[in-house]
Structure 1
């Protein structure tokens, strides 16, 4: 299956960032300047049931980010890296991180 990537619209970017799990995934990638591979467990929140988190991560959030081209998800290795459209969302995530102290505590 070939996906045709187009330049992001503001609506698409905000929709991708509308869920805390997707924000957390992209935040970890932005904070890591080398864009190394990360295991999904590194995106886990500090509280809540871990199994439910992993299920939603693997069945909803990582596929959505990968389909949009913002990440590359290697299911076999269990790693996540920046995707072909990562550079379209990274500046917005960087802006949010720059103003992290001004944002609600639960934004991540």
Structure 2
């Protein structure tokens, strides 16, 4: 009895599957196409685009760090009498630019 059930149940499932597949293939679904719907139609406005320049402002916050950082150390002491405008946070300067001038009286005997 057990061997009969082992083969009979899959055989019944296979036969049912074949009958359903045959029914589906012989009776494909019918499409019902109609005319345009009676729903209201949308009106669309179209405009041509042209390239334009504009400024984008981005508000943000954070910490800014320099790309390079140097420490300036004086080899002599003296009173500072001139500081270059470029000698500030974020300032740029080139090799040979004078950033700070010291009072020459300290080195030339008060002349």
TM-score range, shorter chain: under 0.3
**TM-score, length-scaled by structure 1:** 0.17
